[in-house]
Amino acid sequence: MGLKINQNLVNDNTGKALADLCPFKAISYENGKLDINAGCKLCKLCVRTGPSGVITFEEEKVELINKDDYKGVCVYADSDHGVIHKVTFELIGKAIELAAVIKHPVYALLIGDNCKENVNELLSYGVDKVFVYEDKALADFDMERYSNCFADFIENIKPSSILVGATNVGRCLAPRVAARFHTGLTADCTRLEMKENTDLVQIRPAFGGNIMAQIINPNHRPQFCTVRYKIFDAPKKVAEVKGEAEYRTVKPEWLKSNVEVVEIVEKPKELDISESDVLVAVGRGIKTAEDLEMVKELADLLGANIACTRPLVEANIFDAKHQIGLSGKTVKPKLIITLGISGAIQFVAGMKDSGCIISVNSDPNASIFDVANYGIVGDIYKVVPELIKKLKEAR
Amino acid sequence: MNIIVCIKQVPGTSNVNVDPVTGTLIRDGVASKMNPYDLNAVEMALKLVEENGGEVKVVSMGPPAALEVIREAIYMGASKGVLVSDRKFGGADVLATSYTLCSGIKALGDYDLILCGKQTTDGDTAQVGSELAEHLDIPHACYVKSIKQEGKKLEYVQNLDSKIVTARINMPCLMCVDSEINTPRLPSFLKKKENGDCQNKIQILTFNDVEDKDETHYGLKGSPTQVERIFEPDKRKDKEMITDGDLAKKTYDILKSKKFI
């Protein structure tokens, strides 16, 4: 399996064309020789759109797994320190949709202590079966203990897909367990679909650019993915609880740990932009930190919180808690006004599902206008002060 | 304390686009740089070594051009580096990448601590560090804000979702550091002059040099996930563009009609 160069078809024309075509600069053509280096991401662009037959993709026969051995779409119930994170319910909603396509049961995996209330809550959202690992030593998140319980669940229950919330805990735990089973993990999916053959279709922004990738695990189970908070919607609670809980035995040897907790402190309540109903977001269109005054004034008039793009955090203009995007928060406010934001996919992935998007940018071709409900093509330094004036007049 | 830091070369900007006509990827020619989050990890490693003694080594996986970020780390203060580079490693997903990095780490000898950045700015997955720890069978912690040595253990402060956790962990271990925990130092001009192209300090590891020669563990073959297709993000069809007239008034009218004011 891999790319094969058919040297007999290589000439100055095809060689140069291929070297230019590769977006990762992984193809070189020098002294009549075509070469592919370690920069290759196997996007297969050279195979599909390059001169025909020069670079081909060689498939190799692999032994196929029996996908019927794996049943169930499972949601990991993120319950660090006893409280279930709301992303869990959003994932249950999606898991119910996905499982319906292949007529699989919906599972939840809960690890913790004093789990009864949490079990009932999970069942109330329509989960068919909650698998519970309960022990005093599991009250707080511990990487090794939690991954041992998780591994037992996979070995014995053999779920087909596992959805994990991309919380800080989920982002530590999911890869650790996925690696243990040498299976695939797709982080920060923004869309999930199910194929008839139980392959989970995972869609996320990729290659660090304005591109979406559709990813599958064609020959590995379970299929792991993480999804951020506020990507999907939580389902309504069911009228009648039909699911049940299965308490699994926790073996003492799973509870060994290399980590000893000294202290756990509740984080002070701080601004969480993912909970805001109205946001004013600023990007590189802001020229200096002083210009933020007008942004603050606008936000105050609209009862909004201020959010920003990654470059403004890197420039130390904002604290990271204000950042929207793949390395910041995902937001879904009723209204978001973006000011001077071009709309890089990493940003857009974190806000595109907002209720109403009004974008102001002077570049009519800015990609933010691809997701905006209302695109205002203009200078923020003119539009914002005038808008502030109008809002004040109306008071 | 011997520390290995995992670093990656990423594109200078993230402006990769799909050509709407041909469907091909267009990447502008902006130079590559070290993943900014890795700079925080390198800085933390150098500080720890300044306080406790030892040395900092770096490992990276990528094309030959990635030698540049290893040199940058050496100019910052790392003692040596390994680049794991081979076409056979290409097309690697999180699992194959973390497995391949293991080979580079083994080539660097004994270590007490492995540090990774929070995530990369091109892949944005934040998963490689955790998978690496699993392959190496060592304990790990993510979103670490500070580290200090306490005898044979390391005491760290970790940013979990609603809690700040202080804990002690046995060595050897791996930690992924949070962003904004420090200000990374600049590469030293003196070290640059001293080391030049760092030829004696950098080792390049190809497929022929790694211990495990099973090709199905690396690159595309070792990657359970496969990209089925790539496409442009959806564009909104029902959008309204406002390009002339009193833009502020029209914006105000939208806010009013939608009952936001």
What CATH number is attached to the domain comprising A351? 3.40.50.1220
User: What are the boundaries of each domain within chain B?
Assistant: 2-225
Residues A78 and A167 in one domain: yes
B125 pLDDT more than 90: no
B16 pLDDT more than 60: no
Chain A residue closest in CA terms to B25: A23
What CATH number is attached to the domain comprising A202? 3.40.50.620
- DSSP code per residue over B168-218: EEESSEEEEEPTTSS-PPPPPHHHHHHHTT-GGGEEEE-GGGSS---GGGS
Determine, for residues A43 and B227 on separate chains, whether the beta-carbon distance falls below 8 Å: yes
Number of domains in chain A: 3
Residues A127 and A193 in one domain: yes
C-alpha distance from A306 to closest chain B C-alpha (Å): 16
Chain A residue closest in CA terms to B233: A212
| pLDDT value of position B162 | 85
Which tokens is A186 given?
């797709």
Asked which of A18, A36, A58 is the last residue of a domain, the reply is A58
Which tokens is A287 given?
């020229």
Which residues in chain A are contacts of B236 at CB distance < 8 A?
370-373
What CATH number is attached to the domain comprising A23? 3.30.70.20
Residue A165 lies in a domain: yes
- DSSP code per residue over A168-222: HHHHHHHHHHHHHTT--EE-S-SEEEE-TTSPEEEEEEETTTTEEEEEE-TT-SS
| pLDDT value of position B228 | 87
> Which is more confident, B194 or A271?
B194
d(CA B98, CA A387): 51
- How does pLDDT run across B43-64, given as a tens digit for each residue? 999 999 999 999 999 999 998 9
B27 pLDDT more than 90: no
Average pLDDT over residues B71-85: 97
* From B131, B155, B247, residue closest to A376, measured CB to CB: B247
- Domain around A320: 273-393
Residues A41 and A147 in one domain: no
d(CA B52, CA B74): 19
| pLDDT value of position B12 | 73
- How does pLDDT run across B175-185, given as a tens digit for each residue? 999 987 899 99
Mutation site for B-interface testing, chosen from A28, A140, A172 by largest number of B Cβ within 10 Å: A172
Residue A262 lies in a domain: no
Residue A268 lies in a domain: no
Residues A216 and A250 in one domain: yes
Tell me which residues of chain B, numbers 39 to 58, contact chain A at a CB-CB cutoff of 8 Å.
none
- How does pLDDT run across A101-152, given as a tens digit for each residue? 999 999 999 999 999 999 999 999 999 999 999 999 999 999 999 999 999 9
In this structure, whether the domain defined by B2-225 belongs to CATH 3.40.50.620 is answered with yes
Q: Which residues of chain A have pLDDT under 70?
A: 1, 207-210
- Give this prediction's pTM: 0.87
| pLDDT value of position B61 | 95
d(CA A66, CA A160): 11
The one-character DSSP state at B52 is H
Determine, for residues A278 and B94 on separate chains, whether the beta-carbon distance falls below 8 Å: no
CB neighbour list of residue A52: distance below 8 Å, 6 or more residues apart: none
Determine, for residues B95 and A179 on separate chains, whether the beta-carbon distance falls below 8 Å: yes
User: Which is nearest to A358 in space by CA: A382, A383, A381?
Assistant: A383
Q: Say yes or no: B243 contacts chain A, CB-CB below 8 A.
A: yes
Cβ burial, residue A8 (10 Å; 0-12/13-18/19+) = exposed
- How does pLDDT run across A82-99, given as a tens digit for each residue? 889 999 999 999 999 999
Tell me which residues of chain B, numbers 17 to 36, contact chain A at a CB-CB cutoff of 8 Å.
17-18, 22-27, 36
Residue A324 lies in a domain: yes
| pLDDT value of position A63 | 86
* From B93, B155, B163, residue closest to A184, measured CB to CB: B93
C-alpha distance from A40 to closest chain B C-alpha (Å): 5
Residues A119 and A163 in one domain: yes
Residues A192 and A122 in one domain: yes
Average pLDDT, chain A: 93
- Cβ-Cβ contacts under 8 Å between A and B: the total is 331
Q: Say yes or no: B62 contacts chain A, CB-CB below 8 A.
A: yes
Confidence band of B31 (pLDDT split at 50, 70, 90): low
C-alpha distance from B2 to closest chain A C-alpha (Å): 19
What are residue A163's DSSP bridge partners? A75, A225
Q: What is the ipTM of this complex?
A: 0.90
Residue A101 lies in a domain: yes
- Name the most confidently modeled range: A55-69, A168-182, B5-19, B208-222: A168-182
C-alpha distance from B113 to closest chain A C-alpha (Å): 14
| Maximum CA extent, chain B | 70
User: Which is nearest to B115 in space by CA: B76, B87, B156?
Assistant: B156
Residues A364 and A330 in one domain: yes
Determine, for residues A372 and B236 on separate chains, whether the beta-carbon distance falls below 8 Å: yes
d(CA A108, CA A96): 11
Place of tokens 């990528």: B62
Distances from the Cα of B84 to the Cα of A157, A175, A371, B34, B216, angstroms: 38, 22, 40, 16, 17
Residues A246 and A324 in one domain: no
C-alpha distance from B74 to closest chain A C-alpha (Å): 22
Residues A247 and A283 in one domain: no
* From A38, A220, A258, residue closest to B224, measured CB to CB: A220
| pLDDT value of position A345 | 85
Chain A residue closest in CA terms to B11: A208
Which residues in chain A are contacts of B119 at CB distance < 8 A?
327
Contact A41, B227 (CB under 8 A): no
Residue B83, SS3? strand
Asked which of A255, A284, A312 is the last residue of a domain, the reply is A255
Average pLDDT over residues B196-207: 94
Cis omega (within 30 of 0) on the bond before A222? yes
> Which is more confident, B86 or B180?
B86
d(CA A250, CA B19): 54
Residue A265 lies in a domain: no
3-state helix, strand, coil in chain B (%, to 5): 30, 30, 40
Asked which of A58, A84, A104 is the last residue of a domain, the reply is A58
